[in-house]
Structure 1
Amino acid sequence: MSAPDPATPTTRRGPGRVLIAVYAVFALAATSRAVFQIATQFAVAPLAYVLSALAAVIYIVATVALARGGRTSVRVATAACTVELVGVLAVGMLSVLRPDDFPDATVWSDFGAGYGFVPLVLPVLGLLFLRRVRHEDASGDDGLIVG
């Protein structure tokens, strides 16, 4: 097996590839769901559908930032994962404590239970991965593209 290409951002190697793929799947799923719900059923649960759209935007931003892999992109991905985690925790808690406010589920309802709790685990894994990437960048051990 050959050494990693230093021109390839660290985020696109090894576990970064898997993380990007999972984020891309969630970006597609959340976007499709939100567009359909807003277009056909918005009056039923506007808060839930707007939150699903917000989740979709965050997943798209995280996917693109992880795929780009530059220093600024790593910061953007870190911010997206942080907002995502706060969103999952807040919406998850609200959907449990005030279920009447969520007549239809969002991606983050019940802490992502409808998606196997992946929405709860994904930002944690993303933040841990990005922490490692930033640490490697600081030590100069990788080929993280600066830009």
Structure 2
Amino acid sequence: MSAPSATAASTARGPGRVLVAVYAVFALAASARAGVQLVRDWHEAPLAYALSGLAAVVYVVATLALARGWRVVATAAVSVELVGVLVVGAFSLADPAAFPRATVWSAFGQGYGYVPLVLPLLGLLWLRHTRPRPTEPARSTFEPA
């Protein structure tokens, strides 16, 4: 991965540090939860627990990408997270029998105070806010200001 351009604000500075920290907490929590669910309780709810594993991977990738300034990877991971929480959230409410056990994204992240629903929105907004801007061309000394 290449380093961020000089005209781009870092994704891990200022409020971005808080965003990365929240992603790191979710990466750790989702990974631990998914690990236990997949190893110990797989037979109870394979779909829900597989989605917990997917959520964990997405949070880990998003955390690393935001922290390192890998904008394309971060945008992809956060976008996948948003689609995941919307699709899984809607599906878990429409067909509760398919989700006998909750995932991070079930009911739009209700079990986590809806943070999983808000987090990707904040992530995408932050990525947009810190996106590279074209540099202004130099003015000629003969052009009026």
Query: Structure 2 length as normaliser, TM-score?
Result: 0.86
State the match for 1:129 in structure 2.
Answer: 126
Task: Name segments (4+ residues, structure 1) moved above 4 Å.
Answer: none
Q: Give the Å deviation of 1:140.
A: 4.6
Among 124, 128, 133, the residue aligned to 1:138: 133
Call closer, same or farther: CA 1:91–1:139 in 2, change over 3 Å: same
Instruction: Report the RMSD for the aligned CA atoms in angstroms.
Output: 1.6
State the match for 1:76 in structure 2.
Answer: 73
Distance between the aligned counterparts of 1:12 and 1:114, measured in 2? 27
State the match for 2:96 in structure 1.
Answer: 99
Q: What SS class does the counterpart of residue 100 from structure 2 fall into?
A: coil
Distance between the aligned counterparts of 1:36 and 1:83, measured in 2? 23
Distance between the aligned counterparts of 1:38 and 1:81, measured in 2? 23
The amino acid that maps onto 1:82 is S
The amino acid that maps onto 1:89 is L
Q: What SS class does the counterpart of residue 43 from structure 2 fall into?
A: coil
Choose between structure 1 and 2 for higher RCO, CA contacts under 8 A separated by at least 6 residues: 1
What stretches of structure 2 of length at least 5 have no aligned partner?
A: 1-5, 137-145
What stretches of structure 1 of length at least 5 have no aligned partner?
A: 1-5, 142-147
Q: Give the Å deviation of 1:133.
A: 1.1
Query: Structure 1 length as normaliser, TM-score?
Result: 0.85
Q: Size of the alignment, in residue pairs?
A: 130
Q: Give the Å deviation of 1:139.
A: 3.7
